[in-house]
Structure 1
Amino acid sequence: MFVVLLRFAANKSQAPDHMAEHQEWIRQGVEDGVFLLVGSLQPGQGGAVLAHRTTLDELRDRVAADPFVAHEVVSAEIIEIAPNTTDPRLAFLTA
């Protein structure tokens, strides 16, 4: 599983120009079953995505396709996590 940190970058002011396409990118990630959770980094520092059922290379390609990343509204960092112990409600993450 992965955590993707999307921290605001040099072109932060252009976020409104690309918001609709960014939201479509999020919707597609959820619909594809790759994004489990998407939220904001507080206070107003960008966003984060919890992703699974993908490879690192596939996720890198998906993240690069985010309009916010492509237009340098955010910079992306991908952190890979190998889950070992989970609450039973999250056991599917270790499968």
Structure 2
Amino acid sequence: MFVVLLKPSGQPGRAGDLLAGHKAWLEKGLADGVFALWGSLKPEGGGAIMAHGLDRAALEKRVAADPFVSGGVVRAEIVEIAPARAESRLEFLLD
């Protein structure tokens, strides 16, 4: 399981132009069963994504395809978590 932190980078002015592509990229991750949730980082801005069901190399490739990442709006930091126990609704993350 991974948490992807998308932190503001040097090109924030490009966000508006790339927003539709970024949203489509997020929705594709959800439809593919890779992204379990996402949301905004508070208060500094940026976002976070919980991803599962793929290895780090595949996730890095997917993240590189995010228009916000490739367009320099955000930089991505991937944190890997080895879950040991979960509440019953989250047991699907214990792969």
The percent of aligned pairs where both chains have the same amino acid is 51
Aligned pairs for 1:15-94 (under 5 A) are 15-94=15-94
Please give the alpha-carbon distance, in whole angstroms, between the structure 1 residues aligned to 2:56 and 2:66: 16
Distance across 2 between alignment mates of 1:19 and 1:92:
30
Deviation at 1:43, TM superposition (A): 1.9
Aligned residue-pair number: 95
| Offset at residue 72 of structure 1 (A) | 0.7
Tell me by how many angstroms 1:6 deviates.
Answer: 0.1
**DSSP-derived class of the 1:13 partner:** helix
Counterpart residue number, 1:10: 10
In structure 2, the gaps of 5 or more residues are none
Alignment TM-score, normalising by the size of structure 1: 0.96
Listed one character per residue, the Cα deviations across residues 28-77 of structure 1 (whole Å, up to 9, x for unaligned) are 00000000001011125100000001110000000000000001100000
Q: Where do 5+ consecutive residues of structure 1 fail to align?
A: none
Q: Secondary structure at the match of 2:85?
A: coil
Regions of 4+ moved over 3 Å: none
Distance in 2, matches of 1:29 and 1:93, equals 15
Q: What's the secondary structure of 2:48's corresponding residue?
A: strand
Separation of aligned partners in 2, 1:91 and 1:12? 37
- Return the letter of the residue paired with 2:12: K
